[in-house]
Amino acid sequence: MITIALSKGRIFEETLPLLQAAGITVLDDPETSRKLILDTNQPGVRVLVVRATDVPTYVQFGGADMGITGKDTLLEHASDWGGGSAGLFQPLDLQIAKCRISVAVRADFDYAHAVRQGARLRVATKYVAIARDFFASKGVHVDLIKLYGSMELAPLVGLADAIVDLVSTGNTLRANNLIEVERIMDISSRLIVNQAALKLKREPIRHIISAFSDALAQPAPPLP
């Protein structure tokens, strides 16, 4: 049995064509079903529906053989586990769910001036590790405030000077009168594979990886 961990929403939708290329059709729709283990047309393949931030955990500790997760989630996960994702093989950038992580502030906040002055900034984010590394690399002192969602609110109510959050279309920033002042990194989703599963179930996993790379017109990655 091959178990694939996916999160609902954009990653799930954009993964379906890749699974299809590997001959895998998911038989349930996670948006309408309450099931957390979804059958596929292949008796030997099943899909787990997990929270996006839990995908690396399921794969790293063997609850799933493979999964698809954003680079943002992977970086935060590695930091939670002491700077490493031991046991996780990352063969492919799937080029899906593309967006970026940026710094944004209220339109009336002079971010460049505050940085030049060496001001200590209050930054709200759920990407604490990414934000810490970014501001440390710029030599900007920050107090990080961990939030779990609706980051855009924080500067509007005086909780923070800036936010670090995902930006895709920019609509959420615009709707809340915020402007993007720094682009920290581009984000896309990665295929991750449990190293032990790769040893034990090499052939079916190799088949899925090579079907994905064919569908993406990327060269098949060498397997460890």
Q: Smallest gap, in angstroms, from Cβ of residue 75 to ligand PRP?
A: 15
How many Cβ atoms from other residues are within 10 Å of residue 213's Cβ? 19
Q: What contacts 190, CB < 8 A, 6 or more positions away?
A: 68, 69, 70, 71, 74, 90, 92, 93, 94
CB closer to ligand PRP, 159 vs 220: 159
Q: Which of 210, 220, 195, 190 is nearest to 22 (CA)?
A: 210
Extract the tokens encoding 118: 């060496």
- Number of residues engaging ligand PRP in binding (CB under 6 A): 9
Q: Smallest gap, in angstroms, from Cβ of residue 72 to ligand PRP?
A: 10
CB closer to ligand PRP, 97 vs 208: 97
Q: Is 114 in the site for ligand PRP (CB under 6 A)?
A: no
- Tell me phi and psi for residue 196, to 5 degrees: -70, -40
Which positions from 150 through 179 interact with ligand PRP, judged by CB under 6 A? 165-172
Helices and strands counted in the chain (H then E): 9, 11
State which of residues 149, 158, 219, 224 lies at the interface with ligand PRP (CB under 6 A): 149
CB closer to ligand PRP, 154 vs 193: 154
Q: Is 53 in the site for ligand PRP (CB under 6 A)?
A: no
Q: Smallest gap, in angstroms, from Cβ of residue 209 to ligand PRP?
A: 27
Q: Smallest gap, in angstroms, from Cβ of residue 53 to ligand PRP?
A: 10
Q: Which of 17, 6, 22 is nearest to 204 (CA)?
A: 22
How many Cβ atoms from other residues are within 10 Å of residue 214's Cβ? 14
Q: Smallest gap, in angstroms, from Cβ of residue 76 to ligand PRP?
A: 12
How many Cβ atoms from other residues are within 10 Å of residue 126's Cβ? 18
CB closer to ligand PRP, 59 vs 178: 178
Residues binding ligand PRP (CB under 6 A)? 149, 165-172
